Structure 1
Amino acid sequence: MAAHASTINAQFLVNTGDNFYWCGIQNTSDFQVATDWLNPYNDASLDIPWYGVLGNHEYGYNVSAQIDLSTLHPNWIMDDHYYTKRITVTDSVHISMVFIDTSPCVSEYRSSSSSGWDPCGSQYPTCSLTNDPSDDFEGPCKFHENIISQDCSTQFTWFKEQLSSIPSDDWVIVVGHHPIDECDVEDLTSALQDHGFDLYLNGHAHTLTQYTVDGTGAYVTTGAGSLVNTADQLGGTAARNLTKAKVEGAAHLDTNYGHSYKTIWNQKVAGFTAHSFNDDYTQLTTDYIDYSGNVVHSFTVTKGSSPSPSPSPSPTGSCCHYSDSSCNEGDVCCKSNCDDPSTCSYTEYGCTGSYGQVHNCQWDGSTCKVGPQRNEL
């Protein structure tokens, strides 16, 4: 990320939440501030403003501590639970950015039933990495009480007011932690769609994804900075359950105001996104970049228009079957008794299933392909 930021001369960075696992931080001097942020991201190219939002994991400990970090670290920008910034690109080009706090707007987090709390619910009751009920790590989790202390309806009113006040010539970028249709306490999705926007950025799902809601819009999941959905992380099954990609069709939650989610492209690989204007600032290109610095997908938004996704390349290479002793990275993960890589690929469901994981198969949005091979001890 540092190398790419240097290459494109990045002007600022956007953090889509879940900044400190598992439960946020206790105070501004918490050891995780250095361990998880200051030390790993100390390259000169990243010494730029970091605009952030709160994720659900921030709500385990002291939410205000993350907002207060800016008093010690000027590059850390999080003015409040939700806030706006108008960024000057040139004398005549501006970006109006709206940063929202999605967690208090997820009904299962507000419920008296702890089954949907994340973290500190019935499945993962503490902030300990070992999930030992007797180990509170840094302290007791206060997820639910922190969530219900925030009023989603108040934020919803604020959100609509901020959208309506944006100058008509500005680029409009909205940032939240959750995919927008998962906010089901108030219909944030319709408010966003009714006003119009150029890009919505979110984290939460530990993948790289381009998606639409109700068949339109430029929505980006860029949550692949850690705990990516692979079989060899945190014991396999539990980690996959926590970081799975959303299904297509209805939204992840039952109450979603009738909105539908559709994946345009998805890859479960560690990485990030970069966003660059063309020379006359009429187009904004989103590049999805993997941990090796490769651009694995791109799409471009023309101001005021829906994106035109880049076509996926035709499958190349040979078929890899789960019964094969070894396969090459990039080969197509093929169904049994089927040997044409152009027609025999696993579906996305099969790609992430037990057969697909034999050779670390990964879905690239249209085809299941062999990913980087893990060294066996």
Structure 2
Amino acid sequence: MTLSRRRFLIGASALAFCTTSRAAETASLSFLVLGDWGNPARREDQMRVAKAMADKAQAVPQQFVLSVGDNFYGSGVDGISDQQWLTSFEEIYASPALQCPWYVVLGNHDHRGNQQAEIDYGLTSPRWRMPSRYYSFVHDVSRTAQAELFCLDTQSLVAQTLLEKLTGYGLDRGAQIQWLDQALSRSTARWKIVVGHHPVFSAGSHGDTADLIALLKPLLLEHGVHAYLNGHDHSLSCIEDEGIAYFTSGAGAEARPVKPHPGTVFSEARTGFLAACLKDESAEFDFIGDDGSVLFKKTIA
């Protein structure tokens, strides 16, 4: 699939409108968080969530959308011309209100396909942003405050096979963790948010990720990270642990059962997404259902 000139111009115009609209508003940074969405078997559910996202973005213009992985089921994409770019992404999130940048991380299902294609698609799309498997970006919150988001490839951190569990062979732990440590150390942002596909803590069916508790939690605490955002579990939840909020937003196309978890302040087996609004002194995170209703609000100061 190639990106037509008409589609590119529409996207570029909407992107410029989105940026201009945000700049004219009260000093804040608004963005949406969506995970586990590109599932052809759940197209109707995905479209309901997409409409709720569009309604939210029309009411409150969003600076960007953050995709927390499992962008394409069940085995990623096979290249930048894969038909799924059209059927699971462009056609679903077609509203002008959603033509702002989409910052993306890889999920475990994306790893089964052509990972480089998900990076390279940004060369043809005016809104798809994934410069590498892990990266950070900075956005202004106001004239005096910024937010920095650190996007990880957690599939390369989490042991899946017996060989990986025994030896760590095939994983990319050292370089990525060193990069995160250094990037967090250098950051002067008012808000520091780490993003990955797998949860550190979760009330969903997959539950906590022991590898990430060991690898990431110490860095989050050491560097004063405010929140960790993830997908993987097909549910919506917020768990607090030692002053850090862990948000799971993996219900972009499917909802699965939740279970009790220490520190849970909210969990629900429902399709939907997370909406964030960062200001100088506080950050508000709203879980929104596929009907547009606000399910839960969490404020971080």
- Normalised by the length of structure 1, the TM-score is 0.60
- After superposition, residues 44-83 of structure 1 pair within 5 angstroms as 44-83=96-135
- What is the match of residue 20 of structure 2? none
Per the TM alignment, residue 227 of structure 1 is displaced from its structure 2 partner at its CA by 2.1
Write the deviation string for residues 98-122 of structure 1: whole angstroms up to 9, x where unpaired: 0011111111x24338xx9xxxxxx
AA paired with 2:163?
S
Alpha-carbon distance in 2 for matches of 1:75, 1:175:
19
Alpha-carbon distance in 2 for matches of 1:245, 1:56:
20
Write the deviation string for residues 146-185 of structure 1: whole angstroms up to 9, x where unpaired: x965411111111101110101x52111111111251617
Q: Does 1:227 align with 2:254?
A: yes
3-state DSSP class of the match of 1:184? helix
Alpha-carbon distance in 1 for matches of 2:248, 2:91:
25
1:104·1:110 contact (CA, 8 Å) conserved in 2? no
3-state DSSP class of the match of 1:112? helix
Q: Does 1:151 align with 2:150?
A: no
Alpha-carbon distance in 1 for matches of 2:86, 2:271:
21
Give the total of aligned pairs: 239
- After superposition, residues 83-162 of structure 1 pair within 5 angstroms as 83-107=135-159, 109-112=160-163, 149-162=170-183
2:69·2:106 contact (CA, 8 Å) conserved in 1? yes
User: Structure 1 unaligned runs (5+)?
Assistant: 117-146, 230-243, 250-261, 303-377
- What is the match of residue 308 of structure 1? none
Q: Does 1:293 align with 2:292?
A: yes
Alpha-carbon distance in 2 for matches of 1:176, 1:95:
17
3-state DSSP class of the match of 1:289? strand
Alpha-carbon distance in 2 for matches of 1:175, 1:191:
13
- What is the match of residue 258 of structure 1? none
Per the TM alignment, residue 300 of structure 1 is displaced from its structure 2 partner at its CA by 0.3
- What is the match of residue 179 of structure 1? 199
AA paired with 2:199?
P
Per the TM alignment, residue 32 of structure 1 is displaced from its structure 2 partner at its CA by 0.7
- What is the match of residue 220 of structure 2? 192
Per the TM alignment, residue 93 of structure 1 is displaced from its structure 2 partner at its CA by 1.7
Regions of 4+ moved over 4 Å: 147-150
CA pair 246-151 structure 1, distance change in 2 beyond 3 A: farther
1:110·1:148 contact (CA, 8 Å) conserved in 2? no
Task: State the superposition RMSD in angstroms.
Answer: 2.0
Alpha-carbon distance in 1 for matches of 2:259, 2:178:
28
CA pair 31-285 structure 1, distance change in 2 beyond 3 A: same
3-state DSSP class of the match of 1:164? helix
2:141·2:278 contact (CA, 8 Å) conserved in 1? no
CA pair 225-245 structure 1, distance change in 2 beyond 3 A: same
1:102·1:183 contact (CA, 8 Å) conserved in 2? no
Q: Does 1:277 align with 2:258?
A: no
1:210·1:220 contact (CA, 8 Å) conserved in 2? yes
Alpha-carbon distance in 1 for matches of 2:94, 2:239:
32
Per the TM alignment, residue 97 of structure 1 is displaced from its structure 2 partner at its CA by 0.9
Alpha-carbon distance in 1 for matches of 2:210, 2:103:
21
- After superposition, residues 200-279 of structure 1 pair within 5 angstroms as 200-213=228-241, 215-229=242-256, 244-245=257-258, 248=261, 262-278=263-279
3-state DSSP class of the match of 2:276? strand
AA paired with 1:77?
R
1:178·1:204 contact (CA, 8 Å) conserved in 2? yes
- Normalised by the length of structure 2, the TM-score is 0.75
AA paired with 2:251?
A
1:70·1:76 contact (CA, 8 Å) conserved in 2? yes
AA paired with 1:179?
P
Alpha-carbon distance in 2 for matches of 1:41, 1:263:
31
AA paired with 1:165?
R
- After superposition, residues 19-38 of structure 1 pair within 5 angstroms as 19-38=71-90
